[in-house]
Structure formats: structure tokens, C-alpha cells
Amino acid sequence: MNHLVDLPEWQSLQAHYQQIAPLHLRDLFQQDPGRAERFRLDACGWFLDYSKNRIDRQTMDLLVKLAKACGVEEARRRMFSGEKINRTENRSVLHIALRNRSSQPIYVDGQDVMPQVRRVLDRMADFSEKVRSGQWMGAKGRPIRNVVNLGIGGSDLGPAMAYEALKPYAQPNLRVRFVSNIDGAHLAGALADLDPAETLFIVVSKTFTTLETMTNAASARRWLLSGLGGAELAEAPQSAQARQMTARHFVAVSTQADRVAQFGIDAAQNMFEFWDWVGGRYSLPSAVGLALMVAIGPEHFFQMLEGYHAMDRHFYTAPLEQNMPVLLALLGVWYHNFFGAPTYAVIPYDQLLARFVAYLQQLDMESNGKGTTQEGTPVAWPTGPILWGDVGTNAQHAFFQLLHQGTHLVPCDFIGFVQPAWSAFREDYTRLFAGHHDRLIANLLAQTEALAFGKTAEEVRAEAVEDRLIPHRTFPGNRPSNTLVAQRLTPYSLGSLIALYEHKIFVQGVIWQINSFDQWGVELGKQLANRILPELQAPQEPPWKHDSSTTQLIRWYRQHRSG
């Protein structure tokens, strides 16, 4: 594999950067009045304006040439064909199969996986309808009114984010909550106002050994059994009566039938399968999304899959220069590797997307936060950026001061919608909340304009501002952004938006010559935690095997725990 920075295409971009870097976006718009029309793209219901970037036509031509030289097209083909591109784990990477809405087969090791994908989706739909209709009864013969998803990482961030985003589509008489943190306060808060007789838990763990998830599952079972049968029953979770109750109030999303059954869940009927060719952060369209399907119903869940699939097809078939995920990926490389911008911000102007940035943080930073190439050598160039952000307009009153007048260059993605999602469900929404949405979108558009063009000292002086204040009220501008707009936040538009970022991240990983689909970086801390836990709980001080700082902290914790 050629060294990335030695590629002629990389060298050409480096030389081109020297020409572009001194130019201001004001200059670029003046020199090319048609750039707004040129640097735009429509795909899968999304409109992308990328004209407010520090680029010209040559920039994009050179970036596309870099993508081709790095083998993006071939890597795309290999992923979609089921080849084992996750080399460190010897796995295929086929989250696209989870949302394949065509009749085309998708193969892993010569076997079409689509029949098993459809079978699980059908089982999920059947189960969801039973819960939503009240047919699924708890141990006391009462229908389920509360659903609590127990997972962490991709088993939590995806469905939790999507549930918040699609809350207008959720069934009103079902309360759905998500618990991930091993901090008991998270589970206690989620259960505080729930009735055990009407509560169903969905335990999401591929191995059914995940520390956080299984700790929460054991505590949830204890809470359930205490509420239904008393403390004595809770202390005997493997008794016949306890297992019968557990079976009515717990289902599993896992691959480990033996462990699921040992917990007390009917693995044959109430375990929903997923596969090792799907990474956790890509697993929302699988059985990991069961709580979401229960909340919004199978029909809307399948609409989300349609949105995913549309963006998958666009990514697979569109030429690179007209490919939305590819363009976003290349712009990210441009700023990260040539301008030296270590972060980028995502700002959705929709309160329903309040969890979207947290979801993207895992998707991007767990995928591309790598310092080793596919060949096992240290990278010699920056890889995955730091992703951050918040919803507008809250973000404007938090960190936009830094974006506008700080010393850091932070490229931004702005996301908005023409119509508010709630207006499709409440006839009185527009009347009661008149003007809210126009004000929201006015702020979105104003921020991209202000970031790009700023406000010169001459413009400030013309407003009769005191000379001493002019430097403080000048905005340098030249801060790049992309703007993504869709008609409304729907299951379809959410699915296509997620897939857009998935494929963007994949393209960047290919260019940076890293494996976007493993996550070994999360393992060491888990291993050390397993070593430290018995040392915290030991009745006598154990022999120490840590550095002096960690040993001191363990001792201090032990000494003060009973205080």
C-alpha cells in the first residue's frame, strides 16, 4: 500500500492548499458568483449546500482524484459484496444487509444472509404488534405499558437517539426508556415511577456478558421480582416461580442462547438474533432497534430502513463527484489534514435530534479514532477528528462565541428541516407555536452566513461603534460549513441521514488507510476494571499490582467507602 502522503494526488492537494488558504470566503464568492449552484447536491430527500467551504472547482477535482487514488471505489465494492474488509477481526462489514429493501441477495461466506435478516425483522414486527396491541401480558395478566431497553454503546445510543428523534411517531400509551450507565442512579431513575406488573425489559448484549448491561439486567430482575413477589423471591431468581415471571417481563437481543436461557428468558421464543458482521454502532436497523420498533411500530421502522437503503444505493451507484457521503468525507479530509482542524461540530436545528451528536460521536470516533494503518504500521497523518456539538439554538448561547471569534478553525455541519415534525401530528401545532420554526431556521441560515462572511472593521465602524470596541465587535468569518436540509424529520429522512454519516466515515477510513470497523481501544480499560473490581471489594487489603497513583486511589476509596 502506498504511503498516503507520498501519493502524487496528496502532493497536488498540498500545493493547492498553499493557494487556497490565504483566500477568504468573501473572495471565493466574489470570484465565482455561481458557486452556490455549483456546490450543491440533492440525494435521498436531502439538500446539501457545500458552497460555504474554502474550496474552488480545482479543490474538489483534486479531492476526488485523491479518493480514486486511495481506492475508495474498490473499497466500496468490496464492502457491498461481503468481503471481509474488517481484517483485524476477519469479518465482513454488512450493515447494509440489515436495511436492504431490494430483492437482491447479499452474501457472507457464499451464503445469502437476507433470508435470516428478513426472518428476524418479521419476528420483531410480530412481537412489537403484540406489545403495542396489549396482547403481550405480564406475569400478573396486565398488558405492557413500559418498555426499558438495557444496553450500552451501539446497543443504546442508536435506539435511544432514534426514539427521541421519532417521538412524534411513538405510541402515546407506551413509555420507552433507555438505561446504559452502570451507575445505579441511571437505572433507579428510569424505574422510579414504573409498575413492575406493566414493565418489559429488552436486554441487548451480543455476548450476554457486557458488564454494564448485565449488571443492570440483574438489578432490573431483582426490582421486578421484588415488586411482583417480594424480597424473598428476588433472592431466588433461578426458582421456578421467578423464572416464570422473568420470562414474561424480559426479552433478549443476543447471539448467546445458553446465557439468555440461564438468565430466565425463553431463548427459543424471545431471543432476537443479530450477527458478527454488524458492528454495534451500525446495528440500529437490526434487532438492536427492537425497542424503537415497539415504540413507533413496524411500518414506521420499515420506512426508516427505506431511508437507509436509499442512501446506501446512492452511495454505491453515484459517481464520486456527485456522491453526498463522498463529498462530505473529502471536505472533512481537506480541513483535518490540510488546514489542521482537529475537530468538527454538528449542529442539528431540531430539538428532536438532541441525542444525534452523541450517537455520531461513537459512530465517528470509535470508527476512525485509530493510530495504526491496515498494515499494522503507525499512521503518519491525522486520522479521526474530534466530533462535538449540540442542538441549535442552544448551541448559539454556549459555544458559538468560540466558533465566530475564537482562535480555532472548526468546520460545522448544520442540519435543518423545512417543516417541524410535530406539525404532521397535531392540528393545533402551527397555531399554538406560530413563528417558532421560522425563527429557528432563520437562526440556522444566519449562523452559516455569519460564520462564512463575518463582519469587517469597516462595517462595524459604519455603525458608529467606538474605536476602542471595534476589534471586539469584528467577526473574521472564513469559517466553513455544510448545510443539510430535508422536508421534515421522518423515519425515512432519519434513516438516510444516519447512512449518510456512516458512509462518510467509511470513505475517510479508506483514505486514511485504517480499519473503521474494529474498536480495540475500548478493551484495555474493561480488562483493568475487571482486575480492580475485586480489589475494591476484598475484605482485606489485597497485594497491589498497580502504579502508585492507582494504588493510592484504590486505598482512598476503600478507606472512605463506609463513610
Angle at 139 between CA 135 and CA 140, to 5 degrees: 90
Beta-bridge partner residues of 43: 46
To the query of whether residue 397 is one of the catalytic residues in this protein, the response is: yes
**What CA–CA distance (Å, rounded) separates 324 from 327?**
5
Other beta carbons within 10 angstroms of residue 6's beta carbon come to: 9
Give residue 107's Cα distance to chain centre.
26
Using DSSP bridges, classify how beta strands 146-150 and 199-204 pair: parallel, antiparallel or unpaired. parallel
At 46 the three-state DSSP class reads strand
**What CA–CA distance (Å, rounded) separates 538 from 521?**
28
**What CA–CA distance (Å, rounded) separates 119 from 3?**
44
DSSP H helices in 318-464: 324-333, 356-361, 367-368, 400-405, 429-432, 436-453, 457-461
Angle at 507 between CA 504 and CA 513, to 5 degrees: 140
- DSSP E strands in 62-125: the ranges are 107-108, 111-112
DSSP 276: T
To the query of whether residue 249 is one of the catalytic residues in this protein, the response is: no
Other beta carbons within 10 angstroms of residue 402's beta carbon come to: 12
Q: Do 496 and 308 form a contact (C-beta atoms < 8 A)?
A: yes
| Exposure of 368 in the CB half-sphere (CA atoms within 13 A) | 30
- Sorted by sequence, the CB contacts under 8 Å of residue 298 that are 6+ apart come out as 124, 125, 128, 129
- Omega of the bond leading into 550 within 30 degrees of 0 (cis): no
Q: Which of 397, 436, 472, 545 is catalytic?
A: 397
**What CA–CA distance (Å, rounded) separates 40 from 51?**
7
Q: How far apart are the first and last CA of the chain?
A: 59
Angle at 509 between CA 505 and CA 515, to 5 degrees: 115
Q: Which of 366, 370, 437, 503 is catalytic?
A: 366
Q: Which of 68, 408, 436, 526 is catalytic?
A: 526
**What CA–CA distance (Å, rounded) separates 224 from 234?**
8
To the query of whether residue 95 is one of the catalytic residues in this protein, the response is: no
Q: Write out the catalytic residue numbers.
A: 366, 397, 526
